[in-house]
Amino acid sequence: MTVGSALNKIRRAALSPRRSLGAISGKAMRQHSYWLGNGRSIPPASVCLFMTYRCNLRCKMCDLWGENGSRREGTPVSTRSTQEELSQKEIRTLVDDLASFKPKVTLFGGEPLFHGRTHEVLQCLRDRNIPTSIITNGVLLGAHFRQLVDLKVDEITISLDGPREVHDSIRGVQGTYDKAIAGIVATAEYKRRKHSAVPRLKVLYTISDMNFRHLNDFVKGLEGLQLDLVNFYHVMFVNEELLRRHNAVFMEAFGITSNSLRGFARDVSSRVGLDDLAEQISLIKTGNHRVPVEFLIDFTPEELRRYYTDFSFSPKSRCLVPWREVLILPDGSVSPCLDFIAGNVREESFLRIWNGPRFIHFRRTLKRLGKFPACNRCCLLYRD
């Protein structure tokens, strides 16, 4: 962890000491669950509510709609209906279940603002005092910022992948960068007028073979904005050999293969200039920026080289994600990892699924193995 990253964590803890203390206590209890729970766990700290598969962009590296995306025509997953989404009544029932332990709920997609009832979902969560955040490509932020501020959403993360020309090229639609920036400016101004500390505004930059030379210029272009954090992380990618090994493990352990993982199959290693990327990271870390900057995966130069050239490499030996967070898909399926379904909230309560037989089996298998082959390239592995 860099000094800047440590200071940012301290700053956030100072702004919300009660929540920070609760997170520390919860982390210790989840560690206890991991080692002694025999596959069971205390309720998750974080729930990612996948609102919809639908999206208004076609980002090249997207695992859903990108060049190898699992939702594209002709791929195994694309036959599932993109319209089969939880009703408002079903979401209210889910939120009632989550209210008993109040995890942080992040609305995601696809594009969550593309969903017709996002505001109603956020209101439902807010009514039960559940912490909320949303991850968006920012294109529709200008049409929704007033409601997001008035609903006191805790955090908005806007995904941006470079300066204007680079970003728009990756997203496949011209003008998306300017729309996202305009939405950020409008949100910050409305917050000021309402004397509101929330939503916190974060930008997420996915480092890939298409933008690895532009990190420093990107940060410079954001200097005048009222942002709480710019976060960089490395794109998830796999090759055919890693995909084969991962699916072999999944087939033996669970009788399934991870078709969605193919959405991350991209030749990134040969296209990223590691010297150039290392230089960009150094410029960011040593620069004097007006906006706080963090790297989700804070590699040393040698770790960075191995991450992009050796698929067996990871400084993490174990995955604890299914003990602390979970993904709920648009149709209500509860998933601890790509393509493994532990149950569906349309059929039983979330907490029954969380410590149900399939989830317990998944955790026991993962604990026995430490991690699955593709875990080494999953950003969730590297979260604290």
67-107 residue pLDDT tens: 777 776 655 554 454 458 999 999 999 999 999 999 999 99
What average pLDDT does the structure give for the chain? 90
Q: Residue type at 212?
A: F
pLDDT at 36: 94
pLDDT digits (tens, 9 = 90+) for 289-316: 989 999 999 999 999 999 999 999 999 9
Placement of tokens 């979970």 in the chain: 326
Report phi then psi at 274, rounded to 5: -65, -35
Q: How far apart are CA 29 and CA 376, in angstroms?
A: 25
**pTM of the predicted protein model:** 0.89
Contact (Cβ atoms closer than 8 angstroms) between residue 215 and residue 281:
yes
Predicted confidence (pLDDT) at residue 263 exceeds the cutoff of 90: no
The sheet that has 229-234: what strands, in order across it? 293-295, 229-234, 200-207, 155-159, 132-136, 104-109, 46-52, 325-328, 333-335, 343-344
| pLDDT of 16 | 44
Q: Write down the pLDDT at residue 21.
A: 41
297 or 359, which is more confident?
359
Tokens of 46: 């974080």
Q: 172-227: per-residue pLDDT in tens?
A: 899 999 999 999 999 999 999 999 999 999 999 999 999 999 999 999 999 999 99
Residues 6+ apart with CB under 8 A from 279: none
What is the token pair recorded at 258?
A: 């991870």
Residue whose entry in the numeric block shows the structure tokens 């994600």: 321
Which pLDDT band holds residue 66 (cuts at 50, 70, 90)? low
pLDDT (mean) for 250-265: 92
pLDDT at 190: 98
pLDDT tens readout for residues 114-157: 998 999 999 999 999 999 999 999 999 999 999 999 999 999 99
371: its two tokens: 């991690």
Give the pLDDT score at 339: 93
Mean pLDDT of 224-246: 95
State residue 207's pLDDT score: 96
pLDDT-derived band at 266, boundaries 50, 70, 90? confident
Q: How many CA atoms lie within 13 A of 129 on its CB side?
A: 3
pLDDT score for 209: 95
What is the share, in percent, of the chain residues with pLDDT greater than 70? 89
- Which helix (H) or strand (E) element contains residue 182? helix 176-194
pLDDT digits (tens, 9 = 90+) for 312-329: 999 999 999 999 999 999
Query: Residue 64 above 90 pLDDT?
Result: no
Q: Which has the higher per-residue pLDDT, 208 or 26?
A: 208
Q: Which residues pair with 204 in a beta bridge?
A: 159, 231
Q: Is the pLDDT of residue 15 over 50?
A: no
With cut-offs at 50, 70 and 90, classify the pLDDT of residue 22.
Answer: low
